[in-house]
Structure 1
C-alpha cells in the first residue's frame, strides 16, 4: 500500500537513486520540472545519484549530458548497468579473460576498468559474451557474433533486459530486444542458455549502487514498474514512481505487489513535498448513502479530497482536489481488491475525472 511521509522526501531520505530515461530526461531534453526539483532537493541536503540501466555511455558522458541540461553532476554520481555487469563478470571469470562485448562505449570502458580483455568476434575465443544497449547504431552482425559465441559455449551476460527505452520521439526497442534476438538464435542448443542479468531489477545493480553511493536511507526514483520499482522491492528500499516516462496511471492501478511503489508523484517535484497516504474508510450500514468512500459492500479509501472504492467491475471515485491524491486513493482501492494479483476493474472513468486517462 502507498505510504505517507510527513516530511518532504528530500528530508526523509538521505540519497535519491534516480533513474535517468523518463525521469530526468527523455532523449536529449530534460523532463519538465526536473532541473529545478533536483537543485532544490540537493539544497535540502539530499544526495543525488543517477542510476541507469542504459549501458551505452560512460559515467563521464552521462554527467556531462546532465550538466548541459542544467543538472550539476559528477561522474562519481553516475551508476550504470555496465559497471554492475562488469563487476559480475570479473567475479566469475579469470583475470584478464576475453569478453565479447556487444554494446556501446560505456560497456567497453566498464569491462576494461575491471581488467577484462574486450574482443570483437566469436573466433577470438571469448569465455563470455555481454550485451548492453548500444544505441540505434548497433549492427546486426554484432548480434550474430554474440549468438555464435554463446552457441560455442561462452558464458552469457546482459547489462539489462529492458525491452523498451523512452526517447524524445517515443518508445524505442531497448537492450532486452537485442537479448531476445540472441535467445532466438540459440534455441537449437540442447540446453537453451539464459543470460546472467545485472541491471535493475536484479540484485547486482542494487549492490553496485549501494557500494558506489554509500547510501544509508536511499529512495529509488523511477518511471518503470518492472525495473525501478521491482528493483527497489528486491533491495528492500522505498521507492517513488513518477509519471513522466513509461508507466501511466492505468498501469499503476493494475500493478502486482512487487511493482507497487511506496510513493507516487506526477514528476520530480514529488521529492520536495510531504506525501499523504490513503486512509481506509469504514463500510456503510445498509441504506447509508455516503458516496463511494463508504458503502454497504465494503469500505473504500480516501486521500485529500477524494474517496475511492472498487465496485463489482469498476473503480469508483468521488470528490475533488489534487489529481495525484485521487490516484493515491484509487491505488489503495485497486490494490486492496486485487490482493496478490493485478486489479482488473475498469478505471477509465475514474482516471478521466483526474485528467490521467
Structure 2
C-alpha cells in the first residue's frame, strides 16, 4: 500500500489534500460509501457510479454502504442497489437505524418497549437487538427513537414523541442531517424533524448517526474493515465522521457540498481526497505541492491574497480545486477560510 500524503502540519490540521500513487481501490481494503448524493439521488444512480463500483469490486476492494437514512431496511436498500445494477447483499448495508438500536440496547434490557417515530428500518433494527417497537406514548415505552420517516410523516407522530419525552423517558435519534437529497432537489431531513421535538420539549436526544462514534463503531463491527476509506458528499456527516474515526476520506462533488463550502471547511470537515464522482476511487490522487508563488496541482497554481483566493493556469478543474483547497486551508489554519473564492471557482466552472 502506498502512503497518502497527510497534508497536515506537524500535530496540526490538514492544510492540503492528500495524494496517492496507487488507485484508491488498491490503497484501501474497504470503501465505506454513503448512498444519497454519492451512489444515487432520488432513487436513480448517479452518473458513473454503477461502473465505478463494479470496477472497484473487481479490483478487490470491499464495498459497504453506510447511510444515515434510517427509513429503509438493509434488505430494501440492497434490493434497490441490485435494481440499479450494483450487486449487493443486506449485510453490505449499514444504517443509522442499526447504530441507534445498538446504542439503545446497550442501555435498556432485552424486551424493552421503544416508541418509534420513523419507518420500517428502525423497527427491524430494534427487533434485531431484542427490543419491542411500539407506536404510542400510551404503550408505556421506556425510550423514544426518532429517524427519517419519509416526506409523508404525519405531524401527530411528533406529538407522540413529545408526550413520551415529557413523561421522562430517554430520547434517541438515528441522525440529525438537516437535509436529504431528492430527485427534485434538497428536502428536509431527520434533523429538521428532530428540531421540532427539541423545540417542543426542551430535551436533547442521544444521537447515533454520522459523524458521531456510534455509527463508526457499527460500521467497523459489521464490515471488519482494516484500511477503510470513507466516501461521501457531506462535510458535516461523512467527512467529519471519518475525522472522528481517524480514517481517510474521499469527498465527491455529486451531492450537497459545493466548491465554496469545501474551501471554507474547518479542519474537521477537510477530506483527505476530493474528486468529481466515484471514478475517483479507481485512480490515484495527484500531489499538491507548495511552490514559491503558491500551491500547484496539475496545471493550476493557487494562492491566498489579502481578500480573495487567486488562481492561475489551466487544465483539469478538479486539480484547480485541489490547489485552491491548499491555499485556503493553509491560510485559515484551524478555522474556516473566509477569503472570497467566487472568481476562482467561476474560472473552474465549479
Shared fold, TM over 0.5:
yes
Distance (whole Å) between structure 1 residues aligned to residue 56 and residue 274 of structure 2? 17
Whether contact under 8 Å (1:53, 1:200) holds in the other structure is yes
Q: Which residue of 2 aligns with 1:226?
A: 236
Distance (whole Å) between structure 2 residues aligned to residue 144 and residue 153 of structure 1? 15
* Matched position secondary structure for 1:16: strand
* Matched position secondary structure for 1:100: strand
Tell me which of 63, 71, 86 is aligned to 1:48.
Answer: 63
Tell me which of 260, 269, 273 is aligned to 2:279.
Answer: 269
Q: How many residues align?
A: 335
Whether contact under 8 Å (1:102, 1:142) holds in the other structure is yes
Q: Which residue of 1 aligns with 2:105?
A: 90
1:198-277 residue pairs with structure 2 within 5 A? 198-277=208-287
Distance (whole Å) between structure 1 residues aligned to residue 323 and residue 132 of structure 2? 53
Normalised by the size of structure 2, how large is the TM-score? 0.95
Q: Deviation per CA, 1:116-140: give whole Å up to 9, x if none.
A: 0111111112110000001012110
Distance (whole Å) between structure 2 residues aligned to residue 170 and residue 142 of structure 1? 25
- Is 2:170 aligned against 1:176? no
Normalised by the size of structure 1, how large is the TM-score? 0.93
TM-superposed CA distance for 1:278, in Å, is 1.2
Q: Which residue of 2 aligns with 1:343?
A: 337
Distance (whole Å) between structure 2 residues aligned to residue 76 and residue 277 of structure 1? 36
* Matched position secondary structure for 2:106: helix
Q: Deviation per CA, 1:291-349: give whole Å up to 9, x if none.
A: xxx1xxxxx10001100001011100001111100000000000000111111111111
Distance (whole Å) between structure 2 residues aligned to residue 131 and residue 45 of structure 1? 37
- Is 2:295 aligned against 1:301? yes
TM-superposed CA distance for 1:22, in Å, is 0.2
Distance (whole Å) between structure 2 residues aligned to residue 55 and residue 251 of structure 1? 26
TM-superposed CA distance for 1:353, in Å, is 1.1
Q: Which residue of 2 aligns with 1:144?
A: 159
* Matched position secondary structure for 1:327: helix
Tell me which of 275, 299, 319 is aligned to 1:325.
Answer: 319
Q: Deviation per CA, 1:29-65: give whole Å up to 9, x if none.
A: 0001100100010011100000000000000000000
Distance (whole Å) between structure 1 residues aligned to residue 67 and residue 281 of structure 2? 19
Whether contact under 8 Å (1:220, 1:240) holds in the other structure is yes
- How much is the aligned-residue C-alpha RMSD, in angstroms? 0.6
TM-superposed CA distance for 1:277, in Å, is 2.3
Unpaired runs of 5+ residues, structure 2, are: 1-15
- Is 2:127 aligned against 1:112? yes
Which aligned runs of 4 or more in structure 1 are off by greater than 2 angstroms?
A: none
Whether contact under 8 Å (1:277, 1:328) holds in the other structure is no
Distance (whole Å) between structure 2 residues aligned to residue 313 and residue 95 of structure 1? 59
Distance (whole Å) between structure 2 residues aligned to residue 144 and residue 156 of structure 1? 13
TM-superposed CA distance for 1:196, in Å, is 0.5
- Is 2:3 aligned against 1:3? no
Distance (whole Å) between structure 1 residues aligned to residue 66 and residue 17 of structure 2? 23
Q: Deviation per CA, 1:131-157: give whole Å up to 9, x if none.
A: 000101211011000011111101000
* Matched position secondary structure for 1:92: coil
1:185-204 residue pairs with structure 2 within 5 A? 185-187=200-202, 193-204=203-214
Q: Which residue of 2 aligns with 1:190?
A: none
Q: Deviation per CA, 1:266-311: give whole Å up to 9, x if none.
A: 00000000101211112xxxxxxxxxxx1xxxxx100011000010
Distance (whole Å) between structure 2 residues aligned to residue 9 and residue 227 of structure 1? 21
Whether contact under 8 Å (1:243, 1:265) holds in the other structure is yes
